[in-house]
């Protein structure tokens, strides 16, 4: 195994190129020499080989020959003779380059390169100010010696691709394409670009949607693909040697007769690099046992096709159980996960689906072995389906130690049940693959159909809502739950906002907005950034990607795949289509999630945050939550300090809403009571709301002489709450030309600088109403609100635009006039000092409700009394009735409130007297009708009724049962 360890000794090109002797152990093979020539050539080349295949070592040797400086010549001199023994023609070409003595340059890249331009510029010594790849390459063309060759070797290129996929930056592969195009055209110096990868580009695109994979496929087409599948006889011998070291001594050998048949058919199939020597093939078959000859043949190609770190050909040999036969079943299961995830165009995923579907119907281990063998032997190196003869399939199954007849019988059974297809004319066996619907083409058609009308913002808002940004530190400090409301915005909409928004344009969110801009090109990013810096919108932050992010493209991919998944006609064409679409949809959704995360992360690496014409310091170390807290502190410095986190928020729970309703009801009834009637030990939710919002803040307190009530604003200690309380007082006490919208007060209280949460607004506003309203009209949709019980008052704030308050002059004369009217109508005194207009209206409504209809229509009243009744019947608004109609009727249009009260009182007395007159008249009429005296009308009526023989009346047949029941009840009531 020492030879194997030398042959596959790990190489780190970045460091070993500086010490050429570390590469001198290179052992040339016919498979690896083309890599050396690719490094010295001019065609951009993608070298694909499994781990441990020696591709990096071969590329390093090519770089040494390209450099051709004194340090590298000794190592090259050791290598060239070994090349002579393997390929004389290649030896001649390399020797000519070596003899030219013209020194070149080599740039060794490795793994993920975040900034390709800077990396190449640094390696070449270009000025740091050259920040773009084009400028660096132009500098190289102008400043490197014309005779030199510039060899660019990118080792572990797959890691770069993995990073692009993981970070959602798949478009940056375009930089590699530009570098390849430059290398192909370069003349002075000539240049080469050699990418070393374990798989083709599309194999790394498993996390990309179909559109991105199509773009990668186009870029891959720019490269000459050199698939370094080291399936030479040397490699087979190395594998056999390692198996021999691990094989247990008691392992039963392969049956000699079966071995002969396997050897013969393996030679006919061209296995083991076309070995034609019977003894050599026999040694390989016997030495590999208990690994079957078929598995040995497939292992190197399979590892090169879909191999991963943990599944390279040598690691498979190290992990497999060699105490029993190992065939295609074990090989298939060992690489199953890698096949399943190989979803790129030409990937193994679809073959895996087909095989899994067939294997689920297999009836024996031999049938499963045959299906696994058919799957793996047909996998081509570039995604194509390789031809597999029936004879080759039979020997592949039999090489596990299964008799040929049994293997042939199992294959016949699979063909009979159509799990395997045998095309007899061309002798090709394959796993059944249905109608083979071209999902990629269907997807492209669906994208073309939907692209123009696709609403990315609406789609993302529904499927991937933009995240909010919480102001954590600010919320802890002020006891709130503030956040920036996230929304998506197209780049062109940012420009429209900058051009058409008014400076006072308010955000959509309650506290502020953060707009995540969807920009998918450098041009869109530049325009969006300029518009964001010029935007006049208040409390609106813009998040713009620093490099193109394909969020819209990824969203369109998901939408199209979902449409295909819902197409029953498409799914009916092939039972495997739904499985393939599901896998593609899963990948597309992951890519969308990644792209959205890169744009919306509060610890951004690929986006910049802007506000008020400046870039905000939002970084991975300083997340957006910190900036949001600073913004909230600047926008809402007068936030009331109320220690109730369940109420200091935009939406409250049902329990908290019920408690709020009950508190509003309590305000109307018990504002003058100590602690508003709540006991000091009351642990109810509504009592907690009262204490935290009203009592502890000093809004409701004990005043002089032990009287309780609401405080004046100057008595409130907290500056923010004092400002809110002052605002409420002005709203309910200062008259205006037009009624004031309740929404206007809410907007002031919730907007800067107060920013009270919606949950506490009803309590503050209705407390302000109870405290400061002296003479106001509260209307909903233009109609006077007769009752403001807790529920109704709470409901007003769900849509405050529908409600308005008209503040009337509340001088002493007006208030005394309204109080006197209340006493006139209901003998009620406003001892609680509630709002005077409502108190007068309630008294009037009480009197009016007890007035008989006859009195309202009577013509026996004076003109003044009739005028009062007509005005009362037509009144719809108490303010107009008390403050305009009555003074016009009874005060001569003047503010002679004393005269008005006197006339109204006289009219009310007349109306009430009319009702009493009606009663006296009724008694007189009854007395005359029944000939009873007027001294005691009730007793006389009872005496008359007692004369009736009710029992006899109840026996009459002409009376219905209901008549008899009524007669009995009425008679008993009168007698009693």
Q: Residue 558 is encoded by which pair of tokens? A: 């998901």
Predicted confidence at residue 927, as pLDDT, reads 66
Would the pLDDT of 722 be above 90?
yes
Would the pLDDT of 307 be above 60?
no
> 923 in the Ramachandran plot: left (φ > 0), alpha (ψ -120 to 50) or beta?
alpha
Predicted confidence at residue 310, as pLDDT, reads 37
pLDDT in tens, 752-800: 999 999 999 999 999 999 999 999 999 999 899 887 776 678 888 989 9
Do 11 and 33 form a contact (C-beta atoms < 8 A)? no
Would the pLDDT of 808 be above 60?
yes
pLDDT in tens, 308-322: 433 466 778 888 888
Q: Span 881-909, mean pLDDT?
A: 86
Would the pLDDT of 450 be above 80?
yes
CA distance 454 to 451: 5
pLDDT in tens, 136-161: 998 888 888 765 789 999 999 989 99
Predicted confidence at residue 503, as pLDDT, reads 45
Max Cα–Cα distance, the chain, nearest Å: 153
Predicted confidence at residue 68, as pLDDT, reads 82
Return the sign of the alpha-carbon dihedral for residues 284, 290, 293, 294: negative
> 77 in the Ramachandran plot: left (φ > 0), alpha (ψ -120 to 50) or beta?
alpha
- What's the chain's Rg over C-alpha atoms? 47
Do 839 and 818 form a contact (C-beta atoms < 8 A)? yes
Q: Poorest-confidence range of 384-398, 631-645, 713-727, 930-944? A: 930-944
> Which SS3 state, helix, strand or coil, does residue 76 take?
helix
Q: Long-range contacts for 176-179 (Cβ within 8 Å, ≥24 apart)?
A: 176/116, 176/219, 177/219, 177/222, 178/133, 178/134, 179/116, 179/120, 179/133, 179/137, 179/152
Predicted confidence at residue 229, as pLDDT, reads 60
Predicted confidence at residue 50, as pLDDT, reads 65
Would the pLDDT of 336 be above 80?
yes
Residue 564's pLDDT band (cuts 50, 70, 90): very high
Predicted confidence at residue 147, as pLDDT, reads 59
Residue 720's pLDDT band (cuts 50, 70, 90): very high
Ranges for all domains in the chain classified under CATH 3.40.50.300: 13-227
Predicted confidence at residue 678, as pLDDT, reads 93
| 513-518 vs 149-155, strand pairing mode | unpaired
Predicted confidence at residue 235, as pLDDT, reads 73
Give me the chain's average pLDDT, please: 85
Predicted confidence at residue 919, as pLDDT, reads 62
* Range among 69-73, 646-650, 890-894 rated most confident: 646-650
Give every CB contact of residue 775 below 8 A, 6+ residues apart in sequence: 807, 808, 809, 810, 814, 815, 818, 835, 836, 837
Predicted confidence at residue 2, as pLDDT, reads 41
Residue 64's pLDDT band (cuts 50, 70, 90): confident
Predicted confidence at residue 755, as pLDDT, reads 93
Do 689 and 817 form a contact (C-beta atoms < 8 A)? no
Predicted confidence at residue 109, as pLDDT, reads 93
Would the pLDDT of 28 be above 90?
no
CA distance 264 to 82: 33
Q: Span 226-247, mean pLDDT?
A: 76
* Range among 587-596, 722-731, 910-919 rated most confident: 722-731
| Exposed/middle/buried for residue 562 (C-beta within 10 Å: 0-12, 13-18, 19+) | middle
pLDDT in tens, 492-537: 888 887 776 544 466 888 999 999 999 988 899 999 999 999 988 8
Give every CB contact of residue 783 below 8 A, 6+ residues apart in sequence: 876
CA distance 848 to 907: 13
Would the pLDDT of 484 be above 60?
yes
Classify domain 13-227 by CATH architecture.
Answer: 3-Layer(aba) Sandwich (3.40)
Taking each helix axis as running N to C, give the angle between helix 293-306 and helix 390-398, from 0 to 180 degrees, rounded to the nearest 10.
Answer: 110
C-alpha torsion 374→378→383→384, nearest 10:
-130
Predicted confidence at residue 3, as pLDDT, reads 42
Q: Span 470-498, mean pLDDT?
A: 91
Would the pLDDT of 922 be above 70?
no
The CA distances from residue 704 to 679, 699, 772, in Å, are 21, 15, 18
Give every CB contact of residue 802 below 8 A, 6+ residues apart in sequence: 780, 781, 796
Q: Span 41-47, mean pLDDT?
A: 90
Q: Poorest-confidence range of 201-210, 705-714, 735-744? A: 201-210
Q: Poorest-confidence range of 383-397, 515-529, 582-596, 851-865? A: 851-865
pLDDT in tens, 79-132: 888 888 878 888 888 888 777 766 788 899 999 998 899 999 998 888 988 888
Would the pLDDT of 224 be above 70?
yes
Give the whole-number percent of the chain exceeding pLDDT 90: 35
Q: Residue 866 is encoded by which pair of tokens? A: 């009739």
């Amino acid at each position: 195994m020492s030879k194997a360890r030398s042959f596959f000794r790990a190489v780190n090109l970045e460091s070993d190129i500086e010490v050429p002797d570390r590469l001198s152990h290179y052992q040339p093979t016919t498979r690896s020499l083309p890599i050396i020539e690719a490094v010295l050539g001019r065609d951009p080349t993608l070298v694909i080989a499994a781990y441990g295949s020696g591709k990096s070592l071969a590329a390093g040797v090519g770089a040494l020959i390209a450099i051709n400086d004194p340090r590298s010549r000794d190592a090259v001199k050791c290598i060239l003779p070994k090349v002579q023994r393997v390929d004389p023609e290649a030896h001649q070409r390399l020797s000519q380059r070596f003899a030219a003595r013209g020194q070149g340059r080599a740039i060794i890249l490795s793994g993920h390169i975040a900034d390709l331009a800077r990396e190449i510029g640094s390696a070449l010594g270009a000025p740091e100010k050259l920040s773009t790849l084009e400028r660096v390459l132009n500098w190289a063309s102008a400043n490197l010696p014309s005779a030199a060759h510039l060899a660019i070797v990118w080792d572990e290129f797959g890691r770069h691709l993995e990073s692009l996929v993981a970070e959602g930056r798949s478009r940056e592969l375009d930089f590699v394409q530009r570098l390849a195009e430059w290398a192909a055209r370069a003349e002075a110096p000539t240049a080469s670009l050699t990418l070393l990868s374990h798989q083709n580009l599309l194999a790394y695109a498993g996390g990309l949607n179909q559109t991105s994979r199509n773009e990668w496929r186009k870029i891959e087409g720019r490269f000459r693909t050199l698939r370094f599948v080291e399936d030479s006889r040397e490699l087979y011998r190395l594998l056999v040697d390692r198996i021999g070291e691990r094989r247990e001594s008691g392992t039963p050998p392969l049956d000699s007769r079966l071995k002969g048949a396997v050897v013969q058919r393996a030679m006919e199939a061209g296995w083991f690099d076309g070995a034609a020597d019977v003894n050599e093939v026999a040694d390989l078959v016997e030495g590999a046992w208990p690994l079957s000859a078929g598995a040995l043949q497939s292992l190197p190609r399979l590892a090169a096709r879909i191999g991963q770190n943990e599944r390279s050909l040598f690691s498979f040999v190290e992990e497999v159980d060699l105490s029993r036969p190992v065939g295609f079943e074990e090989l298939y299961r060992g690489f199953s996960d890698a096949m399943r995830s190989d979803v790129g165009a030409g990937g193994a995923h679809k073959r895996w689906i087909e095989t899994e579907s067939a294997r689920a119907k297999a009836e024996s281990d031999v049938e499963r072995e045959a299906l696994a063998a058919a799957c793996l032997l047909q996998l081509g190196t570039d995604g194509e389906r390789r031809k597999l003869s029936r004879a080759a399939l039979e020997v592949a199954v039999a090489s596990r130690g299964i008799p040929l007849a049994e293997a042939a019988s199992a294959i016949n059974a699979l063909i009979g049940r159509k799990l395997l297809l045998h095309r007899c004319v061309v002798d090709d066996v394959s796993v059944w693959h249905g109608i083979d619907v071209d999902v990629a083409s269907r997807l492209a058609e669906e994208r073309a159909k939907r692209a123009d009308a696709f609403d990315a913002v609406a789609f993302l808002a529904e499927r991937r809502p933009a995240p909010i940004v919480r102001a954590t530190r600010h919320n802890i400090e002020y006891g709130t739950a503030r956040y920036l409301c996230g929304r998506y915005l197209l780049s062109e909409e940012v420009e429209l906002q900058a051009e058409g928004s008014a400076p006072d344009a308010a955000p959509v969110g309650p506290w502020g907005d953060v707009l995540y801009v969807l920009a998918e090109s450098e041009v869109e990013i530049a325009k969006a950034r300029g518009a964001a810096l010029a935007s006049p919108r208040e409390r609106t932050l813009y998040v713009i990607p620093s490099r193109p992010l394909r969020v819209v493209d990824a969203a369109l991919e998901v939408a199209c795949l979902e449409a295909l998944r819902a197409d029953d006609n498409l799914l009916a064409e092939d039972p495997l289509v739904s499985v393939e679409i599901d896998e593609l949809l899963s990948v597309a959704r992951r890519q969308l999630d990644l792209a959205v995360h890169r744009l919306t992360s509060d610890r951004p690496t690929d986006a910049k945050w802007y506000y008020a014409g400046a870039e905000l310091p939002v970084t991975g170390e300083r997340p957006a939550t910190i900036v949001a807290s600073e913004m909230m502190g600047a926008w809402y410095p007068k936030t009331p300090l109320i220690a109730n986190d369940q109420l200091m928020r935009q939406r409250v729970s049902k329990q908290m809403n019920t408690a709020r309703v009950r508190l509003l009801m309590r305000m109307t009834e018990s504002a003058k009571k100590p602690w508003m009637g709540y006991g000091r030990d009351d642990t109810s939710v509504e009592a907690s709301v009262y204490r935290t919002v009203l009592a502890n803040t000093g809004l409701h307190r004990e005043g002089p002489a032990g009287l309780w009530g609401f405080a004046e604003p100057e008595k409130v200690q907290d500056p923010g709450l004092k400002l809110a309380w002052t605002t409420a007082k002005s709203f309910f006490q200062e008259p205006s030309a037009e009624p004031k919208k309740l929404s206007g007060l809410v907007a002031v209280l919730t907007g800067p600088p107060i920013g009270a949460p919606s949950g506490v607004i009803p309590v503050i506003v209705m407390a302000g109403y109870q405290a400061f309203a002296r003479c106001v009209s509260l209307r909903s949709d233009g109609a006077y609100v007769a009752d403001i019980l807790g529920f109704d008052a709470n409901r007003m704030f769900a849509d405050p635009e529908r409600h308005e308050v008209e503040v009337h002059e509340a001088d002493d004369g007006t208030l005394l006039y309204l109080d006197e009217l209340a006493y006139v109508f209901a003998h009620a005194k406003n001892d609680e000092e509630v709002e005077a207009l409502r108190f007068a209206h309630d008294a009037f409504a009480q009197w009016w409700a007890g007035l008989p209809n006859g009195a309202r229509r009577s013509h026996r009243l004076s003109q003044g009394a009739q005028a009062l009744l007509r005005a009362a019947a037509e009144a719809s608004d108490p303010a107009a009735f008390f403050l305009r109609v009555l003074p016009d009727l009874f005060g001569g249009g003047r503010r002679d409130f004393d005269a008005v009260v006197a006339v109204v009182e006289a009219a009310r007395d007349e109306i009430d007297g009319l009702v009493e007159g009606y009663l006296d008249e009724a008694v007189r009429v009854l007395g005359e009708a029944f000939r009873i005296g007027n001294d005691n009308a009730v007793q006389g009526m009872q005496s008359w009724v007692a004369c009736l023989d009710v029992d006899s009346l109840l026996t009459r047949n002409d009376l219905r049962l209901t008549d008899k029941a009524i007669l009995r009840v009425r008679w008993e009531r009168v007698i009693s």
